[in-house]
């Protein structure tokens, strides 16, 4: 499994380290993620907030609307404004770390592809990785150890 799970922003001010591998990794093809990244999808590593150590720099948050109405808080480097992680629905204990900001983005691969109903047509999904038109049921898909970690967050 992944060893060096450190990352940072473009200007170098923000540096962070994940204390462990994430619980699960999403590749999200929804329109919101496409718009926010200016790309075809986003890669999010879902991990407990207390396992993300901010080593240097300052992050600032900005809230953007989501379909659920609960909003997404995007955390950006205060200097170069590169987004490094997000919090959805006000669940601050759970972070969605942007895998592309890792020093080695190949260290984590998607466990699931979601919102493939808006996947760009030229993106070919790998065989053997679950894919869903919209969201999915984490209870049936996550490994037991990750579900255990999730329960510790949500009680
Ligand atoms: Zn920066
Ligand atoms: Zn999305």
pLDDT digits (tens, 9 = 90+) for 32-62: 999 999 999 999 999 999 999 999 999 999 9
Q: What pLDDT, on the 0 to 100 scale, is given for residue 69?
A: 82
Structure tokens at 21: 């591998």
Q: What pLDDT, on the 0 to 100 scale, is given for residue 51?
A: 97
Question: 79 CA distance to ligand 1 centroid (A)?
Answer: 5
Question: 42 CA distance to ligand 2 centroid (A)?
Answer: 7
- Residue 84: CB partners within 8 Å, gap ≥ 6? 7, 8, 9, 14, 16, 59, 75, 76, 77, 97, 98, 101
What is the chain's Cα-based Rg? 15
As averages over each run of 10 residues, the pLDDT of the chain (155 residues) reads 83 98 97 95 98 98 87 96 96 97 97 98 97 96 97 89
Three-class secondary structure of residue 150 per DSSP: helix
* pTM assigned to the model: 0.95
Ligand in nearest proximity to the CA of 79:
1
Question: 118 CA distance to ligand 1 centroid (A)?
Answer: 30
């Amino acid at each position: 499994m992944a060893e060096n799970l450190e990352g940072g922003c473009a200007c170098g001010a923000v540096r962070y380290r994940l204390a462990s591998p994430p619980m699960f990794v999403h590749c999200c093809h929804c329109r919101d993620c496409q718009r926010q990244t200016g790309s075809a999808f986003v890669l999010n590593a879902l991990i407990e907030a207390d396992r993300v150590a901010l080593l240097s720099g300052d992050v600032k948050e900005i809230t953007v609307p989501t379909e659920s109405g609960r909003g997404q808080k995007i955390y950006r480097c205060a200097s170069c404004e590169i987004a490094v992680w997000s919090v959805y629905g006000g669940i601050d204990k759970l972070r969605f770390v942007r895998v592309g900001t890792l020093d080695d983005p190949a260290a984590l691969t998607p466990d699931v592809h979601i919102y493939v109903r808006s996947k760009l047509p030229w993106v070919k999904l790998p065989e053997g990785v679950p894919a869903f038109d919209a969201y999915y049921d984490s209870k049936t898909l996550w490994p037991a150890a990750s579900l255990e970690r999730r329960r510790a967050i949500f009680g």
